[in-house]
Amino acid sequence: MTEGNEPPIQDVREAGLDPRSAGEAQAASGDSPAVAGETVVDDGPASEEEKLLHELHRAQQDAAANYDKFLRCRADMDNYKKRMDRTLADLTRSARRDLLVRLLSVKDNLERALHYGESSPTNGESIMEGVRLTQYQLDNLLQLEGVEAIDAEGKTFDPHLEEAVQRVNDASVRDHTVVQVVRNGYMYGDEVLRPAQVVVSVHDDQDDV
């Protein structure tokens, strides 16, 4: 062996030298072999598997966002449908209410005809019978539509149901009692369709009805 010439690493190992010394010698010579059992770390571009996982994560996020938008749109449609249903129900009820008010005017005329016919014996009984039949049919129609007459006469005056058009001092009845119904009032379910016009007994002329 000539001085100045280093033996190869393999020769050093075969010669029984320390592997660490052999490694250092190898490093000094510019070679870097991987140590047995050690994983080589690659700092290059991400692997295909990592790219797929990243795309899957983004797809899941997009799906969650789209599903949230879908839920919001469905909730908006449900609210819109409910508003339209309420609007339609209100319009239907309003139209029916207007019709019932007009029918009440017809009923008033029939009641007047019956009153005048009964007070005048010269009118034919056939006419009176026809008017009675018409009134009976109209009463049935109103009842089927949920219209009920307000029972006011003899009861304590209720400003929510009745309208006082006159007051008298009648000592034979309690104060603020309805003594006469001038025009019938009607309820439509829980709603006052038309208040009754009544005459109220007030014992003290200074009291307001």
User: Could you give the angle at which helices 125-144 and 48-119 cross, rounded to 10 degrees?
Assistant: 160
Asked if residue 4 has pLDDT above 80, the reply is: no
Q: Tell me: the pLDDT tens digits for 145-198?
A: 889 999 999 999 999 999 999 989 988 889 999 999 999 999 998 999 999 999
Which pLDDT belongs to residue 162?
Answer: 95
3-state SS class at 62: helix
Neighbouring C-beta atoms of residue 9, cutoff 10 Å? 19
Which pLDDT belongs to residue 37?
Answer: 47
Which pLDDT belongs to residue 132?
Answer: 82
Dihedral, 43, 48, 51, 55 alpha carbons, nearest 10:
180
Which pLDDT belongs to residue 6?
Answer: 52
Write down the mean pLDDT value for the chain.
78
Which pLDDT belongs to residue 44?
Answer: 47
Return d(Cα 7, Cα 15) in angstroms, integer.
10
Which pLDDT belongs to residue 177?
Answer: 93
Quick one: 33 exposed, middle or buried, by C-beta within 10 A (0-12, 13-18, 19+)? exposed
Confidence of residue 101 (pLDDT cuts 50, 70, 90): confident
> What's the whole-model pTM score?
0.51
Nearest CA among 27, 18, 22 for reference residue 8: 22
Between 61-70, 84-93, 122-131, the lowest mean confidence (pLDDT) is in 122-131
Average pLDDT over residues 113-124: 69
Q: Tell me: the pLDDT tens digits for 6-44?
A: 555 445 444 444 555 545 545 445 444 444 444 444 544
